[in-house]
Amino acid sequence: MAGLLEGKNILVTGMITDQSIAFNVAKLVQEQGGNLILTAYPRPSLVERIAKRLPAEAPVIPLDVTSAEELAGIADKVREHVGSLDGVVHSIGFAPQSALGGGFLTASWEDVSVALHASTYSYKSLATALLPMLGRGSSIVGLTFDATVAWPVYDWMGVAKAGLESASRYLATYLGDQGIRSNLVSAGPLRTMAAKSIPGFAKFEDAWVERAPLGWDLADTEPAAKAVVALLSDWFPATTGEIIHVDGGYHSVGA
């Protein structure tokens, strides 16, 4: 039986450790028959080491999504490995420490702008940089953390994610006539490297585990990765501008 991504070329960003959602996405891409291309920042050698834990070898291309110069050359670098792309996964988010952990009122614009550039604008800029390689039926998928409410300590990253959610809807609008989809997966809290870098992020972990109707495993990134792979596949041909919650149902319940 053919896999969900049989013969598809998929580019995955943001893989830093084997605990990341991106790692599980990359693993599932290969297990579902896809051809995987990885990007790496800031340490390609680290990603290359982690990539050796995947089912098969995958090329690793250095890419800083905040660099206009590197974005301008990314399509040519990808073409060294595949002729076209069927899917792009944006698993990137960064904010300086001053913009997190209770620093909402004191963070400088300089630091906030870094967060917005890396976490929000990069979704659009990565998509447009790779647009020449994307065709009808292609899928762009990003990762968010429910930005409809304010979270303790998430601060400007929460604002950046709200922008990301809006950017995905606009991308869906502008790329729809080319048959290209844009969707997000909103995962519950996971003990990834990104989460560990946010001071006090653990404050609402216990509540999530207790209140999510399906329960929630803080260490299991596979459910979110499966949703990403499903959105990359042909099984959601008429879905775009959507946010799929993979959070044990937490978003659906009140106090």
Binding residues for substrate: 95
Cβ atoms of residues 186 and 249 within 8 Å: no
Give the C-alpha separation, 99 to 113, whole Å.
10
Verify whether residue 203 is a known catalytic residue.
no
- List the catalytic residue out of 161, 170, 174, 196: 161
Give the residue ranges of the annotated binding site: 14, 20-21, 64-65, 92, 95, 161
- List the catalytic residue out of 123, 154, 174, 226: 154
Sign of the C-alpha dihedral, residues 13, 159, 105, 250? Answer: negative
Verify whether residue 196 is a known catalytic residue.
no
Give the C-alpha separation, 135 to 115, whole Å.
30
Alpha carbon separation from 14 to 64, 115, 127 (Å, rounded): 10, 15, 15
Give the residue ranges of the annotated binding site for NAD(+): 14, 20-21, 64-65, 92, 161
Instruction: Kindly report the number of other CB atoms within 10 A of residue 158's CB atom.
Output: 22
DSSP string, 181-221: EEEEEEE-----HHHHTSTTGGGGHHHHHHH-TT---TT--
Q: Which helix (H) or strand (E) holds 69?
A: helix 68-79
- List, in sequence order, every residue forming a beta bridge with 184; answer none if it has no partner: 142, 243
Give the C-alpha separation, 148 to 188, whole Å.
13
Cβ atoms of residues 66 and 40 within 8 Å: no
Residues taking part in catalysis: 154, 161
